[in-house]
């Protein structure tokens, strides 16, 4: 009588069967807190037979966890040397002295832009750069025209007038060709 | 090493309790870290990572410790080694030039990923899984299972009961 108890009744019920079927399709969540307790309890020999067998099976497939258990057992019986005072002081500083068991948050990176003088200096700098760029552009432009006006020979001027489209429109080339 | 109740004092109190906790367990934590990272030169940094993890989020990890299930020293050793190992993995470069790896190591998997578990493997003992599997997958009854495994019927029923309690608790916690 498959799936039935010795008295013919269903010992587990269809809900348990469904739960079992469902559980086999679910991937186990990694609950680290539970895992630490399992491993520590196993190392201390405090688990019941079922949990001992369960954790032993897990350790068989996780060599790092098995090494942790071995190390925990060894350290429980070993005399450890005192920690370096620098390590202790650093660890002490993690919890704020004034606020009970409050963990100190590391200060965020300093935001220079938040300071008012920096903002004013930044805008002033930008304005000065615009003024300087405008003046340089004007000055260079003036120099260019002065250069054009003074450095050209009369032949260049004539040639320029020939090439320049505006004078060509206005000038009457027939003037000198009259007979 | 577990005399008194430093953890209760720590979780209830402030700075002075943290001082006592650190001074009491720093040596153990350093020793545990050294077991994982011997020769790495990062013992101090790794030890700090352990302390940070312990007090992070208002001592969330420390609050998960259950004195009825393990001693604090053993639990701290497990936590310290796991934390240090995780930190070392994060610091390790993602790739190494193949020229730098001795040929013999190329034949071995450098990383040993632990395969993900299905729920029954994580929650139930091998015997419980076997019994539930025989009952529901093998369509065997209690008497047949008891005879096949050489155990009495009450043991079969007890294993089934405990296993189902764990599965129900898991799904209840998951849904609630």
- Structurally, how many domains does chain A consist of? 2
pLDDT-derived band of residue A41, with 50, 70 and 90 as boundaries?
very high
Judge if B171 and B136 occupy the same domain.
yes
**Residue at B111 is within a domain:** no
When CB atoms are compared, the residue of B59, B81, B120 closest to A23 is B120
**Residue at B157 is within a domain:** yes
Interface test with chain B among A29, A54, A76, by most B beta carbons within 10 Å: A54
Interchain proximity A72–B77, CB inside 8 Å: yes
When CB atoms are compared, the residue of A3, A46, A92 closest to B69 is A46
pLDDT-derived band of residue B155, with 50, 70 and 90 as boundaries?
very high
Task: Give the residue with greater pLDDT, B46 vs A106.
Answer: B46
Judge if B147 and B75 occupy the same domain.
no
Look at residue A33 and tell me whether its pLDDT is greater than 80.
Answer: yes
CA–CA separation, A95 vs A103, rounded Å? 5
Q: How far is A109 from chain B (nearest CA, A)?
A: 20
Judge if B22 and B74 occupy the same domain.
yes
Task: Give the residue with greater pLDDT, A163 vs B141.
Answer: B141
Tell me the pLDDT tens digit for each residue of A117-153: 656 777 788 888 888 887 877 676 665 555 555 545 4
- Structurally, how many domains does chain B consist of? 2
> CATH no. for residue B125?
1.10.10.10
CA–CA separation, A58 vs A65, rounded Å? 9
- A93 contacts in chain B (CB < 8 Å): none
ipTM at complex level: 0.79
**Residue at A56 is within a domain:** yes
Judge if B81 and B157 occupy the same domain.
no
**Residue at B112 is within a domain:** no
Interchain proximity B136–A1, CB inside 8 Å: no
Judge if B128 and B80 occupy the same domain.
no
CA–CA separation, A21 vs A167, rounded Å? 97
CA–CA separation, A89 vs B165, rounded Å? 46
CA–CA separation, B130 vs B151, rounded Å? 13
Judge if B68 and B133 occupy the same domain.
no
Domain-terminating residue out of A80, A103, A134:
A80
Partnered with residue A104 across adjacent β-strands are none
Judge if B45 and B88 occupy the same domain.
yes
**Residue at B52 is within a domain:** yes
Structural domain harbouring A147: 116-170
When CB atoms are compared, the residue of B32, B114, B160 closest to A71 is B32
**Residue at A2 is within a domain:** no
Interchain proximity A91–B30, CB inside 8 Å: no
Q: Is A12 on the interface with B (CB under 8 A)?
A: yes
Interchain proximity B18–A92, CB inside 8 Å: yes
> CATH no. for residue B57?
1.10.1740.10
The upper half-sphere exposure of residue A93, i.e. CA atoms within 13 Å in the direction of its Cβ, equals 8
Query: In a 10 Å sphere around its CB, with 0-12 CB exposed, 13-18 middle and 19+ buried, how is residue A147 labelled?
Result: exposed
| Average of per-residue pLDDT values in chain B | 85
Tell me the pLDDT tens digit for each residue of B67-112: 999 999 999 999 999 999 999 988 866 556 666 666 665 554 455 5
Domain-terminating residue out of B45, B77, B92:
B92
Say how many CB pairs under 8 Å bridge A and B: 223
When CB atoms are compared, the residue of A2, A26, A40 closest to B74 is A40
When CB atoms are compared, the residue of B51, B121, B126 closest to A94 is B51
CB atoms within 10 A of CB A154: 7
Tell me the pLDDT tens digit for each residue of A80-128: 888 899 999 999 998 875 444 455 444 444 444 445 565 677 778 888 8
By CA distance, what is A98's nearest residue in B? B15
Whether pTM exceeds 0.90? no
**Residue at A94 is within a domain:** no
Look at residue B161 and tell me whether its pLDDT is greater than 80.
Answer: yes
Scanning A37-96 for CB atoms below 8 A from B yields: 37, 39-41, 43-44, 46-47, 49-54, 57-58, 61-64, 67-69, 71-73, 75-76, 78, 80-84, 86-88, 90-92, 94-96
CA–CA separation, A40 vs B127, rounded Å? 22
Tell me the pLDDT tens digit for each residue of A48-88: 999 999 999 999 999 999 999 999 999 988 888 888 999 99
Structural domain harbouring B151: 119-175
């Amino acid at each position: 009588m498959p799936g039935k108890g010795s008295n013919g009744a269903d010992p587990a019920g269809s809900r348990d069967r469904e739960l079992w079927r469902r559980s086999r399709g679910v991937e186990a969540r990694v609950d680290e807190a539970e895992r630490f307790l399992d491993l520590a309890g196993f190392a201390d020999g405090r688990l019941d037979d079922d949990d001992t067998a369960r954790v032993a099976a897990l350790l068989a497939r996780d060599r790092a966890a098995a090494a942790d258990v071995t190390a925990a057992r060894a350290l429980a019986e070993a005399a450890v040397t005192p920690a370096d005072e620098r390590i202790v002081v650093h660890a002490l500083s993690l919890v704020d002295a004034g606020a009970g068991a409050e963990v100190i948050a590391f200060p965020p990176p300093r935001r220079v832009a938040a300071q008012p003088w920096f903002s004013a200096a930044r805008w002033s700098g930008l304005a000065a750069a615009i003024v300087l760029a405008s003046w340089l552009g004007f000055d260079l432009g003036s120099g260019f025209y002065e250069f054009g006006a003074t450095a050209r020979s009369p032949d260049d001027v004539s040639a320029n007038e020939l090439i320049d489209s505006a004078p060509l429109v206005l000038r009457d080339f027939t003037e000198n060709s009259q007979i | 090493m577990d005399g008194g109740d430093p953890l209760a004092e720590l979780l209830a109190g402030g700075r002075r309790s943290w001082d006592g906790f650190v001074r009491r367990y720093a040596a153990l934590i350093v020793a545990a870290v050294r077991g994982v990272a011997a020769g790495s030169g990062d013992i101090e940094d790794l030890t700090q990572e352990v302390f940070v993890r312990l007090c992070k989020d208002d001592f969330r990890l420390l609050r998960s410790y259950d004195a009825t299930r393990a001693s604090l020293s053993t639990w701290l050793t497990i936590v310290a080694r796991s934390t240090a190992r995780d930190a070392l993995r994060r610091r390790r470069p993602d790739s190494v030039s193949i020229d730098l790896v001795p040929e013999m190591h190329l034949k071995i998997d450098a990383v040993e990923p632990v395969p993900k578990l299905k729920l029954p493997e994580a929650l139930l003992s091998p015997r419980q899984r076997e019994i539930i599997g025989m009952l529901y997958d093998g369509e065997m009854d209690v008497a047949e299972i008891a005879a096949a495994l050489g155990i009495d019927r009450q043991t079969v029923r007890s294993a089934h009961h405990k296993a189902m309690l764990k599965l129900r608790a898991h799904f209840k916690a998951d849904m609630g």
